[in-house]
């Protein structure tokens, strides 16, 4: 399947100009992405502990469950909650 928008010169040029503002063109990001092609590379070669701490705090409560503002009511979304959550909402 081909991207029809790329055949429109105006859309293609506008997209390429917008790419200049993308974080993927920053030298540090390019260097890090290039490392994935290095022989013997493993993602653990980078220290991601600060990133992990940030997103763990952002996404999970102290009990390790997904924070309330990220839980969906869609039954098809694979929602997982603690039994304690149900009892707290329906005493």
Q: Work out the mean pLDDT of the chain and round it to a whole number.
A: 76
Span 15-24, mean pLDDT?
A: 84
Q: Please say whether the beta carbons of 48 and 55 come within 8 A.
A: no
pLDDT attached to residue 75: 57
pLDDT per residue as tens digits for the range 54-71: 988 888 877 777 777 666
Residues 6+ apart with CB under 8 A from 60: 66, 67
pLDDT attached to residue 87: 47
- Indicate whether this model's pTM tops 0.75: no
Q: Please say whether the beta carbons of 79 and 71 come within 8 A.
A: yes
């Amino acid at each position: 399947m081909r991207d029809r928008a790329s055949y429109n010169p105006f859309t293609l040029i506008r997209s390429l100009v917008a790419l200049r503002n993308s974080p993927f063109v920053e030298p540090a990001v390019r260097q890090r992405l290039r490392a994935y092609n290095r022989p013997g590379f493993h993602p653990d070669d980078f220290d991601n502990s600060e990133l992990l701490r940030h997103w763990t705090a952002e996404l999970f409560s102290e009990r390790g469950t997904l924070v309330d503002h990220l839980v969906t009511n869609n039954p098809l979304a694979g929602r997982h909650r603690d039994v304690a959550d149900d009892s707290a909402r329906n005493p």
